[in-house]
Every structure is written in structure tokens, then in C-alpha cells.
Amino acid sequence: MGAQIRLEHLFADDRSDPLFSSHLTMSQLKIMLLLSRNGALAGSELARMVGVGAAALTGMIDRLVVQDLVTRTEDLQDRRVRRIGLTRAGTELIEGIITAGAEKQRVLLSRLSAEELEIVAQAMELLIREALATDFPSPSP
């Protein structure tokens, strides 16, 4: 774990850049991450997940709509319900935050020999296998 933590610290600046340049508030970021994870959600469900009332959520969503990061659409089954979803720009922003630092990783990996890359690939496959086999608790929103 020590090596993993050291590696995370080496990538911290790269991972922080898109987050800081987005100018999102913590609540807006939370909304966008929930939408990224769950897809479009009813406004009432999203408000519950964020832990705010409907009126407070409306203001947050209004600001994200103005930035073209989320959309409001009418629910096909219930016209009273508004579904909130990410726009293409919103999806790209969240993807950029999640994958930040990937280019630095590519550069580092390009410096390794074929044998070293094989070792890294095998180690990653072991971690992926165990992560998929383990029932990790879902992170709380």
C-alpha cells in the first residue's frame, strides 16, 4: 500500500487540475458524480441522494444547466417528474476528472521494458480480478 500511496501523491497535481479548473462547487460536483454513476435521475431522487430539499436542488441544477453541464427532461411515464442528466459537456468534464493523470501514467509505462510491462499487466489483472470478486460496500453519496 505504501507504493500505491506514493504513486497517488505523484499524480495528485495532475488529478487536481481538471477538478480545480472546473469551478464547480462541492455540491455541484457531487450532483454530477451521482449522475455519472447512476444515469439520469428524477429530481426528487437526486435531492434525496445529495441531502438537500427540492428548492435547494433546483438552484444548483439551474446553475449547471446554464453551464450546459446537465439537462432537465420530462419523464416519459410521469409528466410531473423532471429527470436530470448529464450533457455531453458534463460527461466529458466528469470523465476528464476521473481519468486525470492517465497521460502521465502512459508516459511512465512507456519507459518500462516489455518484461516490466508484463509484470505490471499481470499485477493489474490480479487486482481487477479481486476487485470484481469482492463485494465492496457502495460509497455513500
Same domain, 79 and 115: no
User: How far apart are alpha carbons 71 and 108 in whole angstroms?
Assistant: 38
Same domain, 94 and 43: yes
Residue 52 within any structural domain of the chain: yes
Give residue 138's pLDDT: 57
Residue 105 within any structural domain of the chain: no
**Which amino acid makes up residue 97?**
I
Give residue 139's pLDDT: 54
Hey, is 139 helix, strand or coil? coil
Same domain, 59 and 11: yes
Please give the tally of structural domains in the chain: 2
User: How far apart are alpha carbons 53 and 131 in whole angstroms?
Assistant: 35
E strand or H helix that includes residue 9: helix 2-21
The CATH number covering residue 46 comes to 1.10.10.10
Band of the pLDDT at 141, cuts 50, 70, 90? very low
Q: Which residue has the higher pLDDT, 10 or 92?
A: 92
The parent domain of residue 24 ranges over 2-100
Q: Tell me the pLDDT tens digit for each residue of 78-125.
A: 888 899 999 999 999 999 888 877 878 888 899 999 999 999 999 999
Distances from the Cα of 78 to the Cαs of 49, 86, 104, 136, in angstroms?
20, 20, 46, 34
Same domain, 7 and 71: yes
User: How far apart are alpha carbons 85 and 42 in whole angstroms?
Assistant: 9
Q: Tell me the pLDDT tens digit for each residue of 43-74.
A: 999 999 999 999 999 999 999 999 999 999 98
For 11-32, what is the mean pLDDT?
83
Give the predicted TM-score (pTM) of the model: 0.71
Same domain, 58 and 125: no
Residue 21 within any structural domain of the chain: yes
Give residue 36's pLDDT: 96
Res. 37: pLDDT tops 50: yes
> Is residue 4 packed enough to be buried (19+ CB in 10 Å), middle (13-18) or exposed (0-12)?
exposed
